[in-house]
Amino acid sequence: MQILYFPGCTLSTKAKGLDITTREALAALGVHLCELPRWTCCGTVFPLAQDNYIQMVAAARLLATSASLGENRLVTVCSFCYHVLKRVNHAIKNNREAKEKINNYLEENYSGEVQPVHPLEIIRNDYGFNRLREKLGDSLKGLRVACYYGCMLVRPPGEMNFGNPDNPTIMEEFIAALGGVPVDFASKTKCCGSYQILNTPDLVANRTKEILASAAASGAQAIITSCPLCQFNLDRQQEKVADKKNFRQIPVLYFTQLLAAVFKVPLDKMGIEEHYVDPRAVLKEI
Amino acid sequence: MSIDFASKANREIFQRIREISGQNPELCMQCGTCSASCTGIGKMDFLPRQVIRKIQLGDPGVINCHSIWVCTTCLTCSARCPRGIDVGRIMEALRVINLRKGNEVLVMENIPTEVKVEVPQMALTSGFRKLSA
């Protein structure tokens, strides 16, 4: 199966590991990603002001390009990109003014027919968790994993449709199908502080400390995410922990890196040199 | 200095908050679920509930509160509000009213070089879209 793929800007620079392992892991499942031609940044954040259509233009152009290629789905793995594409598409479908203004600006005639999809949805809906369990059910050998969703994948629930906004389970089902143990993780949809790393870094320090403590208390050996900014915040803040003696480091991985490890993708091809906490010990066990 | 809550300029500000956010702050019953759920409260001067209260009372000072710049737009407040208010959109309206006047908080020169070099690109794009004019 071939499907159109939008990597997004961070995946071609600071989060190459997420890009490579998404392509490799899905290819191993028989899903081949074809990169969207001439893609641009999606805009990263959805405008929350009712009159701000210009910040929807970048994502709308990506969707319109996909439609012009005759595609009805566009895969993207970064939580921010997925969030923006999905919400802009929702706006074009449900808000006549948004649709008219954006199409006038782009000189397109796009009406929301392309569905943005996340690789986790591809694995669940196209490949199937049962099939994953049958073929690879022993792979993670009981690895205890904290599944971290953060904000962008699940909220607002009415538009994202990614499960219960306080208790989504798709990542847990994915980990369980691979033979891992998804731990009870109370902070799974808490925000890591996001872009406040630039403006209020103390906030990110406090929030990540709480999330990491929650993961540690549940006995997690690894945290997984699909967001390069969550990965960065949760990973790099561990460097700044003052009380190193009473702090257990936890590697923060992309869920695709775990799946790539299952398919024996070489560790030096996974972009783990981008990580502060060394995940090799965890990945070698797989 | 006393505040003229009913002045024409003040009424216009609150009309703009309603228009830009598309939300009706009068629906808020001050239960505080947003504040209890908020990512940023440790660094805010007013809790999200208090920001909404200031709007209900017509206090024009709400435009200048620090909380709007600490918000991470994580939308936990919006997802949990029992009155169905998209609180995140109200915070955005307050930011946008400032940004359109050129009042910004995130300035490239003030970000430490090592942070600029290290952060993923998405942090810079999103941060500047939300916090700079």
Question: Cβ neighbours of residue B38 under 8 Å, at least 6 residues apart?
Answer: B44, B47, B48, B76, B77
Rounded Cα distance, A93 and A180, in Å: 39
Answer for the pair B35, B48: CB distance below 8 angstroms, yes or no: yes
Domains of chain B plus CATH, in order, are: 8-101 (1.10.1060.10), 105-133 (no CATH)
What are the structural domain ranges in chain A? 2-117, 128-284
Q: What is the CATH number of domain A2-117?
A: 1.20.1050.140
Question: Cβ neighbours of residue A200 under 8 Å, at least 6 residues apart?
Answer: A193, B40, B43, B69, B70
B interface mutation test: which of A88, A189, A199 has the most B CBs within 10 A? A199
Contact pairs from chain A to chain B, CB under 8 Å: 141
Q: Is the pLDDT of residue B1 over 60?
A: no
SS3 A103: helix
Tokens matching residue A44: 């990263």
Q: Does B133 touch chain A (CB under 8 A)?
A: no
Rounded Cα distance, A70 and A74, in Å: 11
The conformation of residue B33, written as its DSSP 8-state character, comes to H
Contact check, Cβ <8 Å, A206/B42: yes
- Contacts of residue B80 in chain A, CB cutoff 8 Å? 166
Nearest to A221 by CA among A181, A190, A257, A192: A181
The ipTM of this complex is 0.94
Q: Is the pLDDT of residue B5 over 90?
A: no
Crossing angle for the helix pair A170-177 and A255-262, nearest 10 degrees? 20
SS3 A3: strand
Fold of A128-284: Rossmann fold (3.40.50)
What is the model's pLDDT at position B10? Answer: 79
Contact check, Cβ <8 Å, A198/B124: yes
Contact check, Cβ <8 Å, A155/B69: no
Answer for the pair B68, B57: CB distance below 8 angstroms, yes or no: no
CA A145, A146, A150, A155 torsion-angle sign: positive
For A274, nearest residue in chain B (alpha carbons)? B118
Nearest to A191 among B76, B96, B127 (CB): B76
Answer for the pair A31, A122: CB distance below 8 angstroms, yes or no: yes
SS3 B2: coil
B interface mutation test: which of A41, A44, A79, A202 has the most B CBs within 10 A? A44
pLDDT digits (tens, 9 = 90+) for A192-226: 999 999 999 999 999 999 999 999 999 999 999 99
Contact check, Cβ <8 Å, A194/B69: no
Q: What is the DSSP string of A24-83?
A: HHHHHTT-EEEEPTT-----SS---STT--GGGHHHHHHHHHHHHTT-SEEE--SHHHHH
B interface mutation test: which of A42, A195, A211 has the most B CBs within 10 A? A195
pLDDT digits (tens, 9 = 90+) for B56-66: 999 999 999 99
Torsion of CA B51, B57, B62, B66, to 10 degrees: -30
Supply the mean pLDDT for chain A.
96
Answer for the pair B125, A14: CB distance below 8 angstroms, yes or no: no
Q: Does A198 touch chain B (CB under 8 A)?
A: yes
> What would the mean pLDDT of A126-143 be, rounded to a whole number?
97
